[in-house]
Amino acid sequence: MKTYTMSCSCGDTMPIEAETRAEAVAKMQGMMTAEAIAAHMAEKHPGEPVMSVADCHAMIEQEMMPKE
């Protein structure tokens, strides 16, 4: 398995193990539910509006990269 990472604008880097980038994206999207997004936003982005699931999943699709 390979390690893929996604970096949030708050500086958090989230690693995930997967065989392919597509699998990594799908796994991360599966983890980032409305509740998980709300918790992350409350902790790391206080005062900012909560991102929609669709926007979060689009960001994951765009930002997921193989770990170097």
* Cα–Cα dist 47/58, whole Å: 22
Reported as half-sphere exposure (CB side, CA atoms, 13 A), residue 1 has a value of 9
User: Looking at the predicted structure, is the pLDDT value of residue 58 above 90?
Assistant: yes
User: Looking at the predicted structure, is the pLDDT value of residue 49 above 80?
Assistant: yes
Q: How large is the C-alpha radius of gyration of the chain?
A: 12
User: Looking at the predicted structure, is the pLDDT value of residue 68 above 80?
Assistant: no
Containing structural domain, residue 56: 2-66
User: Looking at the predicted structure, is the pLDDT value of residue 20 above 90?
Assistant: yes
Q: How many domains does the chain have?
A: 1
For residue 3, the cross-strand partners are 17
Band of pLDDT at residue 64, cut at 50, 70 and 90: very high
The residue behind tokens 């982005």 is: 45
